[in-house]
């Protein structure tokens, strides 16, 4: 009765999860390498990361990116994440950073399980999430020139958590309902990686702001 809601390409879902997990491991390695990267190189690496992200956005129209592209991107992303993690370790301590990471894993896993098991079609989230993401990008650019106060940044971070939680639901539900081809595995793993890392950064920022208010 529900045969139409399950796509035959379901066999590639475990591959997506394995590649996603490996991408996280490569990003962690990149974060460790970030310890040894001179501060002057972080800005060029961030620019390279943004260029690669735009490249991935255009390549996704062909529904394929290469594994080498994925792993290079996640390694660079890990390096550029190091200053963020290092800052919060110095300001709120290792325990709270690890708590933020554990919270991210818990939220991500819970949302993934729900989206993969529900009979609801969550594709309606796509348009709203894209509009919200563009708004977050615009506010981020605004924040560079006119920094937000802590309260505004807290609200911004909570919205970020909601948006990337929505993307976790959207991506897992889409894979469940429409399946994944072999060529799409790296692209879907990249989507999950971006959801996870952005969820983590926003949760970490919330922990940092709330800790500073104590």
pLDDT digits (tens, 9 = 90+) for 30-59: 999 999 999 889 889 998 888 888 777 776
Q: How confident is the model at residue 10 (pLDDT cuts 50, 70, 90)?
A: low
> Considering the domain boundaries, does residue 3 fall inside one?
no
Residue-level pLDDT at 19: 96
Calculate the average pLDDT of the chain: 88
Residue-level pLDDT at 59: 64
3 pLDDT exceeds 60? no
Residue-level pLDDT at 162: 96
> Considering the domain boundaries, does residue 4 fall inside one?
no
Percentage above 70 pLDDT, the chain: 92
Rounded distance, CA 58 to CA 51, Å? 11
Buried b (16+ CB within 10 A) or exposed e, 54-77: eebeebeeeeebeeebbbebbbbb
First to last CA, the chain: 54
> Considering the domain boundaries, does residue 75 fall inside one?
yes
Residue-level pLDDT at 61: 59
Q: State which residues form the domain around 208.
A: 9-213
Q: Cα 157 to chain center, whole Å?
A: 14
Rounded distance, CA 134 to CA 60, Å? 17
Mean pLDDT of 9-16: 77
Percentage above 90 pLDDT, the chain: 59
CA atoms within 13 A on the CB side of 93: 5
> Considering the domain boundaries, does residue 33 fall inside one?
yes
Rounded distance, CA 173 to CA 126, Å? 11
> Considering the domain boundaries, does residue 133 fall inside one?
yes
pLDDT digits 0-9 by tens, 73-117: 999 999 999 999 999 999 999 999 999 999 999 999 999 999 999
Residue-level pLDDT at 78: 95
Residue-level pLDDT at 52: 86
User: Residues 185, 164, 20, CA angle at the centre, nearest 5°?
Assistant: 25
8 pLDDT exceeds 60? no
**Closest C-alpha to 169, from 99, 103, 104, 120:** 120
Q: How many domains does the chain have?
A: 1
Rounded distance, CA 90 to CA 77, Å? 20
> Considering the domain boundaries, does residue 81 fall inside one?
yes
> Considering the domain boundaries, does residue 124 fall inside one?
yes
Rounded distance, CA 153 to CA 206, Å? 8
pTM above 0.85, yes or no: yes
> Considering the domain boundaries, does residue 2 fall inside one?
no
Residue-level pLDDT at 2: 39
Listed in sequence order, the residues at least 6 apart from 175 whose beta carbon sits closer than 8 Å to its beta carbon are 13, 16, 116, 188
The Cβ of residue 162 has, within 10 Å, a number of other Cβ atoms equal to 13
């Amino acid at each position: 009765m529900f045969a139409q809601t399950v796509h035959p390409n379901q066999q590639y879902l475990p591959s997506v999860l394995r590649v996603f997990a490996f991408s996280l491991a490569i990003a962690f390695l990149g974060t460790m390498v970030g310890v040894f990267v001179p501060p002057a190189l972080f800005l060029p690496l961030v620019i390279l990361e943004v260029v690669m992200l735009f490249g991935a956005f255009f390549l996704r129209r062909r529904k394929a990116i290469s594994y080498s592209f994925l792993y290079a991107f996640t390694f660079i992303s890990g390096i550029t994440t190091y200053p963020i993690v290092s800052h919060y370790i110095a300001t709120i301590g290792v325990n709270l950073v690890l708590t933020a990471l554990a919270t991210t894993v818990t939220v991500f896993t819970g949302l993934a399980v729900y989206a993969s098991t529900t009979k609801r079609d969550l594709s309606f989230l796509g348009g709203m999430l894209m509009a919200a993401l563009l708004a977050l990008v615009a506010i981020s650019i605004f924040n560079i020139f006119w920094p937000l106060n802590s309260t505004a940044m807290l609200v911004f971070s909570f919205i970020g958590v909601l948006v990337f939680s929505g993307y976790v639901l959207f991506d897992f539900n889409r894979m469940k309902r429409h399946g994944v081809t072999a060529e799409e595995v790296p692209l879907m793993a990249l989507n999950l990686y971006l959801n996870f890392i952005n969820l983590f950064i926003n949760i970490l920022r919330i922990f940092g702001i709330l800790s500073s208010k104590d």
